[in-house]
Structure 1
Amino acid sequence: MAKHTAVVASVVAAVSLAITAWGTYKAAQVADDQLSQSRDDSAKEDRAQASRISVWVEGEKPTRLVLANRSLDPAWGYVTIATQDELRKDEVPGRFMGIGVLPPCTRLNVPLSKLGTDTQASFHLGKSAPLAFVGLTFIDATGSMWLRYPSGRLEPATFNAPSEGRLTWAAEKGVEVKALGDCSKEP
């Protein structure tokens, strides 16, 4: 009888150990899934404002640069330009023209005539120009720096832009400022 009791106790202990191991394995899977979801949510949150800021060029020649901030927070922006050689070498440019504050929920229509002659020429694709328009570099409300290309691509900026100043195109004569509708925290 003692032998049978010892065998039954051993079997019960082994089954109990197996159930505990399976439970621990499942708990680890759930924790890993939660961590992965948390990382995804954090990445989305980091990009939330940046994903709502865009830049493009309009006009047949083109004639204007359009900057739109559909977020509820202001951002600090720079027009980013590069030489043709830098673009061929896939180097990130080191030339910035401060445009100042991109007000919340606002579209700025900036005439290219507000830019210097070399910078104006950078917006005319296919023509030889000393510089080429790269995109909009901006600092979001969290202090993160981003580069938005005219194609719509968005990536974290890994270079140093000049410090913020007091310049803002939103207050400049000749810059059309339009309020945008439907600006919210959710993209």
Structure 2
Amino acid sequence: MNEAKVEGNKLFGEGLYDEALLKYDHAIQLAPEMSASAEIRAICHNNRATCFFKLEKYEDSVKECTKALELNPTYMKPLLRKAEAHEKLENYDDAITALKKIVELDPSNHQARRTIFRLEPLAIEKREKMKEEMLGKLKDMGNSILGRFGMSVDNFKAVKDPNTGSYSISFQQ
């Protein structure tokens, strides 16, 4: 088990990430499902995550980080790698979640704090963009239905009541 991991590390160092993945997988298979070997399996999953990251297979990197963290929830390397992979995938909220866990485990980690600060505006922007996209799709769907009756969603106006926060909808031609 340890020999396969060492071979994987050697291949990784040579930039042979696909071959290293196979060795780490072999090491995981050799490690028995006992708590004593959980640490070596967590390390191998983290190493696989790093290989996938180098190969720009970010979804696979996230999956391997998750496996490593299931075995060792306080393992910092896969938390950081998971945040980096989520950022590459533009899953900013997920990246921020991983980074907040890092800060929770290590309050002195200023790099994680800076990254959260940098990603928060991107997360807000992405949520707004998704909201606009969804509203556009809903409007298109509404227009396709209302169009059969010679109407459009533009014929309806929603007005928010400042006292209750509820909306009233009025029809306009």
Higher helix residue share: 2
Higher strand residue share: 1
TM-score, scaled to structure 1: 0.22
Larger radius of gyration: 1
Q: Which of 1 and 2 has higher RCO (CA within 8 Å, sep 6+)?
A: 1
